[in-house]
Amino acid sequence: RTHPLYKATVASGQLYKCPFESEDCGHKPTKLKCNYDKYVDSHLKPFRCKNTACIELQFSSTACLLRHEREAHGMHGHGSRPHLCTYADCERSIPGHGFPRRYNLYDHMKRVHDY
């Protein structure tokens, strides 16, 4: 967070306003600097994946970055894809080719197998 927008200050009693409000971003003025910083984060996306295959990916929060690392790279103790399809002839029924989240498996079962 080295961008100059993070150094914004306001006079006492004033509100922090999103610097991108002219682009109709929908952020409302706030009294809290931490909320203002989140507004700026959502536009600048300062968090980046360190994996060389994802060098272009940018995220607006550490939570989004951690989810990406967990699901795309199997980091943070979530390397396996434990939720397997119950249809034996489906490629998603093979260990390692399942889904990282149960919801994704349920969605797959509805869309692909009409189950």
Helix (H) or strand (E) holding 22: none
The confidence score (pLDDT) of residue 20 equals: 93
What is the band of 79 on the pLDDT scale with cuts at 50, 70, 90? low
- Comparing CA positions, the residue from 47, 49, 102, 108 lying closest to residue 75 is 49
Q: Is the distance from CB of 27 to CB of 39 less than 8 angstroms? A: yes
The confidence score (pLDDT) of residue 5 equals: 95
pLDDT at position 43 over 90: yes
What is the band of 7 on the pLDDT scale with cuts at 50, 70, 90? very high
pLDDT, tens digit (0-9, with 9 covering 90-100), for 14-33: 999 999 988 888 999 999 99
The confidence score (pLDDT) of residue 77 equals: 64
**pTM for this model (two decimals):** 0.66
pLDDT at position 80 over 90: no
Which residues have CB under 8 Å from 34's CB, separation 6+? none
